[in-house]
Structure 1
Amino acid sequence: MLPRTFTLRAAALLAALAMGAVGLVAPTAQAEHADRSPAVKPDPRKRLGLFVDPKMPAYQQGGVYRTRIGSNAQAFWVIPEAYDTSSVKSKVEEYTGDAANARKTPVLTIYGIPGRDCGQYSSGNPLQTAAQYRGWINQVAKGLGGTHALVILEPDALPLFSSSVQACPTKPDGWLGMLRYASRKLSGTGAWVYLDAGHSNWTPYDDRPRFLQKAGIAYDRGFSTNVSNFRPTADEKAYAAKMLSGLRKLGVKGKRYVIDTSRNGARPPDGSGYDVINPTWARLGKPPRLVFDGAFDGKLWVKHPGESDGQVNGGGPSGQWCDMLADRLLDRPSEQPYCP
């Protein structure tokens, strides 16, 4: 008489062999383990909303400015005048830490390349050389590590420096290399980096995909359009499609884009053209929202509505908050005739 345990094991073995003969054998232990392996978690940026920072200017103003402007997510601008190489890492960590505590996605704009804005309203950059810029970017990257941030990289730099018709006396030597370094370094932190590509009316732009390629967009998630500008969203989508097509022809595939809709809620009343410095006809655009619709990742508010573009059309110094400019965007009367 065999022990009962042995008899049961033998019966189980015979049953397994019989099932195997008709193709019904149970999964192997390895297969069972594979079936139980955890599914890949979706990227948190695809499920978390964008971070609404209570430190942003419109939020701090309170009242209608908070409810209609400040309650929307806006990018945190990282500029070397405010955050130099010694302090920028901690400032980026502070902002992304606030976003993490709120369980939201941080959005940052990196704006520090030497020669930016061609010496116009945003001049005064303390970074003058490629070596200084790389050192600053290295510290930004250290602050970004593991934060799952969205990053707009150097608004206007590529279209300004690559333009054949735009005079730019401050265009730095090696600007493509600087953008390529920043693309690689910042994307290496896990951030979704969008290299700025100007906008639909910044022409000619037939060569822009080639410059995007040389500036390192292969490292990035994609590109941004309409930053601090006023072009309609439909125009920007058509422009983005041309950039994507041009990139594919160069072998750069799978790129995506975002559009700044912070101030593109109206067209010029006479249709004659577009001011770009505090236009009197501009209005708030559609609220920021990630949509992940094909190559279109979504709408962002990169420029802060209510902050001046420069001392034109009643505006104050670039980047300065002004109630009157915010009132214009909200299409409401203002007690201020011009910015102080």
Structure 2
Amino acid sequence: MSRTTTAPPRNRTALIAACAVIVAAAGTAATLSSPARAAAPGCTVDYKVTNQWDAGFGAAVTVTNTGDAVGSWTLEWSYAGNQKVTQGWNATVTQTGAAVTAKNASYNGNLGTGASASFGFNASYSGSNALPAVFKLNGVTCNGGPTDPTDPTDPPGDRVDNPYAGAKVYVNPEWSAKAAAEPGGSRIADQPTAVWLDRAAAIAGVNGGMGLRAHLDEALRQKGSGELAVQLVIYNLPGRDCAALASNGELGPNDINKYRTQYIDPIAGILADPKYAGLRIVTTVEIDSLPNLVTNTTPRPTATPNCDVMKANGNYIKGVGYALNKLGAVGNVYNYVDAGHHGWLGWDDNFSASAELFKQAANAEGATLADVHGFIVNTANYSALKENNFTIDDQVNGVSVRQSKWVDWNRYTDELSYAQAMRAKLVSLGFDSGLGMLIDTSRNGWGGTARPAGPGPRTSVDTFVDGGRYDRRIHLGNWCNQSGAGLGERPKAAPAAGIDAYVWVKPPGESDGSSTAIPNDEGKGFDRMCDPTYAGNPRNNNNMSGALPGAPLSGRWFSAQFQELLKNAHPAL
């Protein structure tokens, strides 16, 4: 299994002032504060309710200094109701009676002319949740006032049909440095790869690494005067990846509110910062989630208890819908939902049911189909882009290729045909006719000496398919650190009909999971499909796993795999 043209945003929550909405930011780069002085007479404030439930709400505030520079700031407002702040971040937020005071953190006190600072908080309330009417920055009243939260005229960003067309794509400097340090790695170190936000801590940065803001700031530097797309993987659902232990996550099956308020809301807030409005931000939304609800739940023989739980509680549907709604409200974000791969969803029983489920999720939690710019297939997987030595319509001695052990009655032989067919199906269900598809080609090249030069012998349908297929996995269901894999097509915009881009979402060299059990604090389990001695399960028809030995935890650098990908690259390096 895998591993991850919209209409204007609708139904936005309450906004204040004339600036674009900004929500709380985690991991702002550290700067030194200078002594406080009197605020110059000029400021605007954006205040947004990012999430609201029966007894509480989350809010995000951005203050923009339109006057002279200040070295520190204090923002004040009062509530008309019984709202009580319970928790804040990126500022010290206190409350006395109805009056609220937010003071800068140590790293965001300097505000030059035109500069902004963002912070967020959670609060309780009952009854109505009226917006504050007046804000003061360092004692100076800011201009602007509340807007009608139901006003549909809130101007969105203008999205292009294909965010990759005519644009550079962000090169992650952390991955690039690891690739360049490998023998021969400099040949691909300048390729764009995605940034994985696989836990809440990744937003601020883990173990001294770059956080989301740091990546976006670097993307602005790389952008220059042209266009640039930056690729993010949104990957932290409750009960994540219920059928593959190696990529389990930090949130329990019922932690949907944590997912909303501690993960999606902070990400959405950072992406909404006007500072980043010139970037084309491409999100891959929750790989491996929705397809699991189709293929790995009761009564399927491949069902797992964890997937049954996630189907019953609905938190995959809710989480994906919430992410699409919140991220889709940011005018320069392009949401692409994970749609598995042909070796997972290409069978009749899986294909249509998955498409229907994608539609259900895209209409959940306030999202609509317009919040989906496209879909991505083969995320972090190994399925060949195009099998040239046989087609699904071929026969050998009157026996269809579909009857071969490899194809096993699938409707598709490769990712390109699957992606184009899934696109057509989704459009028929009501998704935009301009829907675009992405294909992750980071590890599906299957080059090297094992790559067949032509069709296999026509002695039987199995010898014909097995002798000619580029994909050299033991079974289509094998997904973990596959032996013999190679780099695939380099990232490329608009390579085929209906395809927005070939992309490297899975950074080559990052492990899928550990070969043996490794204790960790990331919530990642040990999956036997990553063990090269494992003889399989019903999901891979009880075949050997085909995994490389010596692999670290998922996401960690795996030098042996990187070297194998270089060696077997197709097109060759």
> What is the aligned counterpart of 1:237 among 416, 419, 422?
416
| Structure with more of its chain in helix, by fraction | 1
1:280 corresponds to: 483
TM-score normalised over the length of structure 2: 0.47
1:181 corresponds to: 322
Instruction: Tell me how far apart the structure 2 counterparts of residues 177 and 73 of structure 1 sit (CA, whole Å).
Output: 31
1:47, CA displacement in angstroms?
2.0
> What is the aligned counterpart of 1:100 among 220, 225, 235?
220
For residues 70-126 of structure 1, the C-alpha deviation after alignment (integer angstroms, 9 at most, x for no partner) is 221100000116426x779x9222211211111032111111011112151012423
> What is the aligned counterpart of 1:300 among 503, 518, 537?
503
User: What secondary structure does 2:280 align onto?
Assistant: coil
Instruction: Tell me how far apart the structure 2 counterparts of residues 63 and 246 of structure 1 sit (CA, whole Å).
Output: 42
Instruction: Tell me how far apart the structure 2 counterparts of residues 299 and 236 of structure 1 sit (CA, whole Å).
Output: 11
1:274, CA displacement in angstroms?
5.5
RMSD across aligned C-alpha pairs, in angstroms?
A: 2.6
User: What secondary structure does 1:95 align onto?
Assistant: helix
1:270, CA displacement in angstroms?
7.7
User: What secondary structure does 1:194 align onto?
Assistant: strand
Segments of 5+ residues of structure 2 without an aligned counterpart are 1-157, 363-368, 387-413, 447-469, 516-529, 531-547, 569-573
Structure with bigger RCO (C-alpha 8 Å, 6+ apart):
2
Given the superposition, is the C-alpha separation of residues 87 and 137 from structure 1 closer, same or farther in structure 2, using an over 3 Å criterion? farther
1:259, CA displacement in angstroms?
0.3
Q: Report the AA paired with residue 150 of structure 1.
A: V
> What is the aligned counterpart of 1:115 among 234, 239, 244?
239
What pairs with 1:252-291 in structure 2 (closer than 5 Å)? 252-254=431-433, 255-266=435-446, 267-269=470-472, 273=476, 275-291=478-494
Instruction: Tell me how far apart the structure 1 counterparts of residues 384 and 565 of structure 2 sit (CA, whole Å).
Output: 15
Contact 1:291 1:298 in 2 (8 A): yes
Instruction: Tell me how far apart the structure 1 counterparts of residues 500 and 427 of structure 2 sit (CA, whole Å).
Output: 18
Instruction: Tell me how far apart the structure 2 counterparts of residues 261 and 92 of structure 1 sit (CA, whole Å).
Output: 24
TM-score normalised over the length of structure 1: 0.77
| Structure with more of its chain in strand, by fraction | 2
Q: Which runs of 4+ in 1 moved over 6 A?
A: 40-44
Instruction: Tell me how far apart the structure 1 counterparts of residues 438 and 264 of structure 2 sit (CA, whole Å).
Output: 22
Structure number with greater Rg is 1
Given the superposition, is the C-alpha separation of residues 58 and 162 from structure 1 closer, same or farther in structure 2, using an over 3 Å criterion? farther
Identity of aligned residues (%): 29
What pairs with 1:1-340 in structure 2 (closer than 5 Å)? 45-56=164-175, 59=178, 61-64=180-183, 66-80=185-199, 82-83=201-202, 91-103=211-223, 104-118=228-242, 120-126=245-251, 128-135=254-261, 136-145=263-272, 146=277, 147-163=279-295, 164=297, 165=300, 166-171=302-307, 172=310, 173-174=313-314, 175-189=316-330, 190-203=332-345, 204-216=350-362, 217-234=369-386, 235-254=414-433, 255-266=435-446, 267-269=470-472, 273=476, 275-291=478-494, 293-310=496-513, 311=515, 312=530, 313-314=548-549, 315-331=551-567
Instruction: Tell me how far apart the structure 1 counterparts of residues 485 and 378 of structure 2 sit (CA, whole Å).
Output: 14
Contact 2:344 2:477 in 1 (8 A): no
Given the superposition, is the C-alpha separation of residues 229 and 125 from structure 1 closer, same or farther in structure 2, using an over 3 Å criterion? same
> Structure 1 residues 303-312 or 70-79, which shifts more?
303-312
Instruction: Tell me how far apart the structure 1 counterparts of residues 215 and 554 of structure 2 sit (CA, whole Å).
Output: 22
Q: Report the AA paired with residue 258 of structure 2.
A: Q
1:50, CA displacement in angstroms?
0.6
Instruction: Tell me how far apart the structure 2 counterparts of residues 272 and 162 of structure 1 sit (CA, whole Å).
Output: 20
